[in-house]
Structure 1
Amino acid sequence: MNKEISLQLSNVNKTFRTSSKSFSTLRDRLINFYKKNDVKTIKALKDINLEIYSGETIGVIGRNGSGKSTLTKIMSGTFIPDRGGQVTKNGTSLLLNLGVGFSHELSARENIYVNGSTLGLRISEIDELFDEILEFSELEDFKDTKIKYFSSGMIQRLSFSIAIFAKADIIFLDEVFAVGDDKFRKKATEALKQNWLRNRTSIIVSHSIGTIKEHCDRTVLLHKGELKFFGDTEKAIALYQELE
């Protein structure tokens, strides 16, 4: 395995603050003006330090609310860590969160071009890949239909099909193995193996222990925002199963 560091986190913390007051409208402002504003502090991640090497496939597991998605968003750059934390990446990255970034007023064809461009593909490349993307998503008959008329499964299939052709050195996969029906899921999993999980750095967040065990070289175990373990996947899973 290449020992070049692909992704490094140093002293990463993430704090969220919530307010009991709502100010989305003028009426809300008037109603809440004399109310006490209770601000709650939620420590989502606590002193996370990680080194991930180029070409590794890393699993991220933990109970609901353990900080898995927050960690993934910190690593991908979607969230900024609290002051003092540092995230260093060697190469471009992509967070695949199916369906996010689609315009429901645009057709499947238009969304392919818009999303493909944001994922690093040139228009000429999308032209060449267009039929292949549609065919993989099994949505050829709906290419000029606005996706507001699509089911959630159809949107996921289209999003996944665009993303597998994206160019990125580091890929973040947050529960994407649950996409579509059983038939499409098998096809999507095989495509991931062939296109993404080969010679790229991949971080997989999943509740499926089988998925983590099958694909991941090492695994991160989070619990209540803390890094409980990072190392051998079998050991990480065993520790996870012992958590209350």
Structure 2
Amino acid sequence: MFILKRQDVEITSVPHPKKDQQIPILNYQGQHFRLISVFSAAQEEDAKAFWRDLTDNRGKACVLLEEPDRYSVWGKVRLDQLAAEADSGKDDAASPAYIQACLILLQAVYIDIEDLLGGRQANLFEKEITGVLKQWRFPQTDSPESIKQLLTIDPLASLQMPAWQEHHLNTLLQELFRLGKQHFGNGNFTGRVLDALQDMPANDRNMFLSWLGQSPTGKDWK
């Protein structure tokens, strides 16, 4: 549909009808759009290609928001539709295995930074990832303790994953790659980090890697 600038739109949030979380909503000329995916400023072509695929090939009503430090794709939604989805029992949370895999990658980057670069860099990374989670309103990250748990508790032993959607996972992976590249100086760390997924059940791991390969940030992690 449109490529918009930040000054063209208003971004607010609405409470999820059934969950203790906020849903980011973009408002443009009386229409409402829900966040689908986020790209860094360097991923302009990827963002436009993803947006065009949704609009031209899949018939989705989407907008591309262009900001100085990022691009984001938003899909049209009616606010009453959110309530209807909740009442029908439709759950838009990502697969628990995908959330599990993303947490394993998050912890692997954190551990790698601590082991190779030291505690000071690890503390800096923790502050940076906390900023990402808060900026994009990730559910269940409202306290330092909750974020510390994400960085330290084995996802494979946890009984409950945070209620994140796929756009949260895409945002996390994009920001995780950006921060890892920033700390290590290049993107070569991804191979080491992906090795941590070997602890997952093979079927879950293969499904996640297939999903990752088709995600907006997949080529960064290949």
Structure number with greater CO (CA < 8 Å, separation at least 6) is 1
- Higher strand share goes to which structure? 1
Same fold by TM-score greater than 0.5: no
Normalising by structure 1, what TM-score? 0.23
Computing the radius of gyration from Cα coordinates, the structure with the larger value is 1
- Higher helix share goes to which structure? 2
